[in-house]
Structure formats: structure tokens, C-alpha cells
A = this chain, B = another copy of it.
Amino acid sequence: MIFPLLAPERADEFQLRVSKARLAMSDAGVDALLVASTVNIFYLTGGVCRGYVYLPVEGEPLFFVIPPAAPSAPVMRAIRKPEQIPGMLEAEGYTLPERVGLEFDDLLYSDVERLRKVFPASEVRDGSTPLRAARLTKTPLEISMMKTDGMKQCAVYSRIDRCYEEDMTDLEFQIEIERVLRKEGCLGYLRVAGSRMEINMGSVIAGPNADAPSPYDFSMGGAGVDPSLPVGASGTIMKPGMTVMVDMNGGFNGYQTDMTRCWYLGDVPELAVRAHECSRAILRDLESFARPGVEIGEMYRRAVRMAEETGLSAYFMGHGHKAGFIGHGVGIQLNEAPVVMERNKSLLQENMTIALEPKFVIPGTGAVGVENTYVVRPGGLENITAFREQLVQLV
């Protein structure tokens, strides 16, 4: 197994991430984190294995790995089970933590309870919050990895027109797009935070399916094709008069970009075209308005206001039912902090990476709108999924 951040040439990056986590640990009042989730082990080491990163506020972090992983860097130690960790820490001169952080939002209940017993004398506090805080802004390496995702995702989107054949269903269209994605290097697996999302390669939504309610926290739901996975393409045959929204997986390297573009068949009502252009206008507005220090909720309110002023409120972020956000952080997970919603009073920070997706559902026609992934820069938002945004006819 490979842990790129533990390689000598990545020592600075490892230290940077450790420093960011430590800053947040002090705020959370924990002396050490015992990190066990795949996403946070990947964040701290650049790789995935069964094991635990022990990250004290002071002193060297250690990475305890379980076979088949074996130590391959100075900070790595071999264990068979987590119960060995305290003894090994003490043998190396560490003081066991008074307050240890475990990932309440990233681990199963039974996993946290097992790890709690590993440190019987320690008070257990939430370790997910400081790690989420560390991951809220991205390092230059993370941003460069996400730019790679964006370039590959744009390359795939440039080939979507050619995936279409007449009388296809939305699902058949999606399957051809999946293949192009996979051939470009998409890993085909999206990590999501929490328990309110289940998704594979993304979502293609044609016509009225755009307004079908889904139990998941996606901006546009879709009914899916089976009650066991009620999301996305529904098997709708794509017909003239429909729009088709493509919001497919942009994960190529453990990070991802999130990107939506729309197509249409035959003629669609002027209302759909106007709504699509309003989405683009909202993005243009937010790209220059949003910068470090701006209240995140204000982005949401500006978008809502622009939809209102264009007379499109009834369609904004859904028609029959509405999503309560217009964007979200993205990185290792598809749905990271911050959520761009009305009541988010926190401020944008430089090097946050956020997807903005002001979308509309036009009854009888389908969804329209554009989603891009951005890096928050001092002067505004940098679009890392820059690609043709127009509604394009599928022929």
C-alpha cells in the first residue's frame, strides 16, 4: 500500500495537514486524535489502509497499521489491533491523552465504542469536527489534484454529445457517459459524508423526472429505476421538448470536482432557456461577489434574489419540492462543508473549494442550470470546471 504524504518528498505537505488539524484540535479541546475513518486517514497519509493515525497536539504523529499494510515510513508502526496502541505509545514516551478525539460523524457507533475502551482513562470528545475544520480549506497540493479532476471531467463532458443516440433512455445515455468517464480514469466510487447520500457514478435526469422527489440530499432528485435506490435516471425515453441534466462523477484521484451541464431535445420553452441563462447569470454574479470574508448565507440570498427578479422563483432549486441550498464544499467527499444555504452565517475563506449549482425545474420540460466547482481566491472564485455552459441540442 502506498501513502504518498509519508514519502520524504511530501514531508512539508504532511506537516501542513497535521498543523491544520492541530489548530482545530486546540479549539475542540482535545489533546490527541485517534483517526480511523478511511476519508481522514486518506487526508492525513494520502493512502487508505486498515489502521489508525494517532495525532497528538504535541509530539510526532504515529500511524498504526494493521496487516496486510506494513510500516514503510518512519512514522508507521505495525499492530494487530487498536488495543495495542496505548502500550506502544507509552513505550515510546508518549503521555496518554486526557481528552481524546474520536470521529463521531465518520465512524459507526460500534467502532467508536470499541476505540473508547482503548483509552479507558481518557475523556472522549468528538474528533470529526476538528478534522472537518482542517479539511475546510484546501492546501495547494489538494487544489492541484482537484484541478486535475476538473480538467478530466471537462474532457469527458466534451464527449457527452457523442454518447447520445435517438430514442435512448436517460439511463442508457448515462451508461455511455459512465463508460467515457471510466476510460478517462474516473475511479467510479464517490465518498460521501453522513448517511443521506447513496450514489455511484452520478445522475442524468431527463424531462419530468427532474421533479421526482428523492430521499437523498441531492439538489435535483430523480426517481431512479428501483425502489432500493430512488435517485437519478428513471428509464425515461428522452424526447423532443425535454431538457437533460448531466451531473456525473468527477473523481479521479481521491478528490473530485462537481459539475453539471444541460442539453435539450427538439424545442424547449423559452422559459427553460431563460432559467438556464439565469443560472449562468447567478454564477457570474457569485464568481465576483464571493471572496474571503463574505457571509456564506449571503451567497444563497443573492441567488434567490436574482431568481426572484427574473420571475423564476417558482422553479428555483426545484418546483414540486425544493432543495434548501445552492452549493456545498467538495473535496475528498462530495458533500463537504460549507453548505451554501440561507442560515449559514460563517464566512468564506481563501482556498475553500465549493460547488455552486443554481438550478431550476421547469414543469413538463425538465431541469436546467449549470454547476461549477470553484476555489475561493482573494479576488473572487476561480472556476476549475470551466467549460461551455450553454444549453446544447442533442442530435
Contacts and interface: CB of A to CB of B under 8 A. Distances in A.
A102 B228 CA distance: 22
25 contacts: A1-B213, A1-B215, A2-B227, A2-B230, A4-B227, A42-B228, A47-B227, A47-B230, A48-B228, A49-B230, A68-B213, A69-B213, A103-B109, A108-B194, A109-B111, A109-B113, A110-B128, A111-B195, A171-B182, A175-B182, A178-B182, A185-B225, A200-B200, A226-B254, A228-B253
Nearest to A199: B189
Number of copies: 2
Interface string A314-332: 0000000100000000000
For the complex of A and B, the 4 pairs showing the least CB-CB separation, nearest first, are A228-B254, A68-B213, A109-B112, A188-B200
Nearest to A253: B226
A48 B215 contact: yes
Interface of A: 1-4, 37-38, 42, 46-51, 67-69, 102-113, 126, 128, 171-172, 175-176, 178-179, 182-183, 185, 187-189, 191, 194-196, 198-201, 213-215, 221, 225-230, 252-254, 321
A69 B199 CA distance: 19
Given A215-B1, A321-B67, A226 B106 contact: no
A42 B106 CA distance: 22
B183 A189 contact: no
